[in-house]
Amino acid sequence: MNKSALQLMQNDLTNLAQHLITKNLEVWLEENTAQHAQLTRYPTLSLGDIGNIADVAIVMGGDGTMLSVARSLIETDVPLIGINRGRFGFLTDLRAEDMLVEIDRILDGEYIKEPRMLLTTQVVRQGKVIEASYALNDIVIKSGLRLIELEVEIDHKFVYKQRSDGLILSTPTGTTAYALSAGGPILHPNLEAISLVPICPHTLSNRPIAVNSASKIEVTVVHFDEAQLSFDGQFQVTLEEGDKIIVQRAQQTISLLHPSDYCYFDMLRNKLNWG
């Protein structure tokens, strides 16, 4: 982060913290953020401790920051408010220049609480679970230099064998992320669905599909030279031939708080430059 960006971050965090303190609210900064922004005047806590004691978490940054915080707070009921300091801001929908007014509205009860579904994933190797994690956006199985061959079953029913650069398994939230770039459909966040989007399939008739979120999806790595599995693009597992990736909807959800006049279609139109 360059000097001007750091100064901007310091100013925004300071303005927000001071504004909340004047409302007699207790404010904590996440300890790594406070250290990076060189803000020492406010009490700090780890992200896990914030999840245990806070009524709401305000996330300032881009969608990547929101994904990271959301995954860390999965086991709590803390709702998230996102202030956009990134590029698109599909998840961090408040503009920094409007944040004080909009947060006041939310604190006054003028908000929409929107639950977002999560995916839970297990990587099974030789009958043993070697990795398990959650994703708010997507699970991505991706090859290295050459095509990867995958076998897909849904609810124990064979769907296809596919040769491609990989496969994206996405929540409705994640359909405006990597899945959109790969030609997948946009699913409204209130849909109970999981999309499967092939990445550059060898057979052009392999198209994206969406299935009910209650489905159990099993993807077996049949053949590859090199492959990895990622969770929200932030955590990776190196795969081996024969590995089975089991994806299901998680019992937990993440709640986002929006101003009461928030409209998903307005957001899409603004972010994607629709007419």
Q: Among all residues, which ones are annotated catalytic?
A: 63
Alpha-carbon distance of 65 to 133, in angstroms, equals 17
Structure tokens given for 117: 């579904």
Residue 57 β-bridge partners? 80
Structure tokens given for 232: 């929200």
Sign of the four-CA dihedral 140, 131, 251, 108: negative
